[in-house]
Structure 1
């Protein structure tokens, strides 16, 4: 994880930091991840990754019930936040291991300038510059239960058909990314 370690008495606590951005998308500070997502979420740096297999299917994951934003929503394979000074491709590798218990390779930018803002029913806001990557799975999956509630592989045409029939089970960023992906 990228962040800072705080010593408090006999305990050491790791605080994951996110990179805050100005309106032009330039870094302008950091904040603890746990304090960023609320009704007035500042613009910050994130990423999304779509894992693809050799037949063109993508891994969809259902966000765990305990997630702060969009719990139980089906979404692209995994997402995360590069830490201060962390290369986004390195962050993709780190989060694949943390979230999916997996190694990935062939990480490539797909939508490098993707940016979105979405508001949950409770008023919580996502506000991110979120480059989108693809990658290949290099071994078995062992998803972390506090990150992933369920997962499945689906063809892109099948996913588009599911979304056309009922978009409500899916995260707003996945829907926007899917619409922007080349066919």
Structure 2
């Protein structure tokens, strides 16, 4: 176990809430999806960034402990600053891998406007469940255990459906909740760019597989997505050989450790489901 892993594992709920007083404890979360505070475009950390993307930094992510137990709500800004990540702040994410009937994977190139990892190619959709009942997996079920994996998976699927529409214009009809297949979780950390970057990711990422028809409508939000394409496994490997292309670190990690094995067995994808958090730190 790395020193960083030990740091994250050692952080208790009380220590997390004491260290980052901006976090709202889970039991006090109101269900409102954005922060009540303001995120000023004049803050130095946002200098030169897109106004719409700055506003999205007010969204409330699900702050976690090492064991993927929800602690509370923290703004996207709080969760993505490397100063906080380097001290162990961790949040929940999801990554969707959408395959069409031909077995091709839908990739997106993140927009230049993105604050983190701009212009990089990545999997179909990668984002964060909000700290609200539907995306915690507890909507309509007061007895649901927020610490239970099944509950968390349900929330991640709702978040994935929301973001597929927001980023790529894919309708709910083309990505019904029932068609998402949860596989596993990965835990990783990466700066956005070089190690001097102000921004980064430190996530437990829920991997979701989606099989769709060939003719689904994709209408990208250009503030989120610069380009998209469907690729075969061979075509993706060729893309990795192109030195002019950049890829998000989580996508590269997943490709290096899991993706091509999953891809070869798409019709039996359920065999890869597990309850493990794969630590790729």
Question: What is the TM-score normalised by the length of structure 1?
Answer: 0.86
Query: Relative contact order (C-alpha < 8 Å, sep 6+): which is higher?
Result: 1
Q: In structure 2, which of residues 163, 174, 187 is the aligned counterpart of residue 115 of structure 1?
A: 187
My pick for the range that moved more, 160-169 or 25-34, is: 160-169
Aligned to 2:211, the other structure's residue is in SS state strand
Whole-angstrom distance in 1 between the partners of 2:119 and 2:211: 24
Partners of 1:25 and 1:125 in 2: CA distance:
19
Residue number among 224, 235, 260 corresponding to 1:147 in the alignment:
224
Alignment of 1:92-131 (within 5 A): 92-103=160-171, 104-105=175-176, 106-110=179-183, 112-119=184-191, 120-121=193-194, 122-123=196-197, 124-131=199-206
| Between 55-64 and 77-86, the greater mean CA deviation after superposition | 77-86
Equivalence for 2:255: 178
Asked if residue 25 in structure 1 is aligned to residue 68 in structure 2, the reply is: yes
What stretches of structure 2 of length at least 5 have no aligned partner? 1-30, 39-54, 136-154, 265-281
Show CA shifts across 1:97-125 (max 9, x none): 11111121421113x22121112314222
Work out the CA distance in 1 between the residues paired with 2:129 and 2:32.
7
* Corresponding residue number in structure 1 for 2:98: 51
Instruction: Tell whether the 8 Å contact from 1:2 to 1:83 is kept in structure 2 after alignment.
Output: no
Normalized against structure 2, the TM-score is what?
0.58
1:3 is paired with a residue whose SS is coil
The equivalent of 2:33 in structure 1 is 3
**What is the CA RMSD across the aligned residues, in angstroms?**
2.5
Matches of 2:78 and 2:37 in 1, distance apart?
19
Residue of structure 1 equivalent to 2:127: 80
Q: Is the 8 A contact 1:2 1:16 kept in 2?
A: no
How much has 1:19 moved relative to structure 2? 0.2
Instruction: Indicate how the Cα distance of structure 1 residues 161 and 99 shifts in structure 2: closer, same or farther if over 3 A, else same.
Output: same
Instruction: For 1:153 and 1:79, locate their aligned partners in 2 and report how far apart those are by CA, in whole Å.
Output: 16
How many residues align? The count is 178
Q: 1:50 to 1:170 in 2, by over 3 A?
A: same
Query: For the Cα contact (< 8 Å) 2:188–2:204, is it kept in 1?
Result: yes
* Runs of 4 or more above 6 Å deviation: none
The structure whose Rg is larger is 2
Q: Which SS does the other structure have where 1:46 is aligned?
A: strand
Give how far 1:63 is off: 0.3
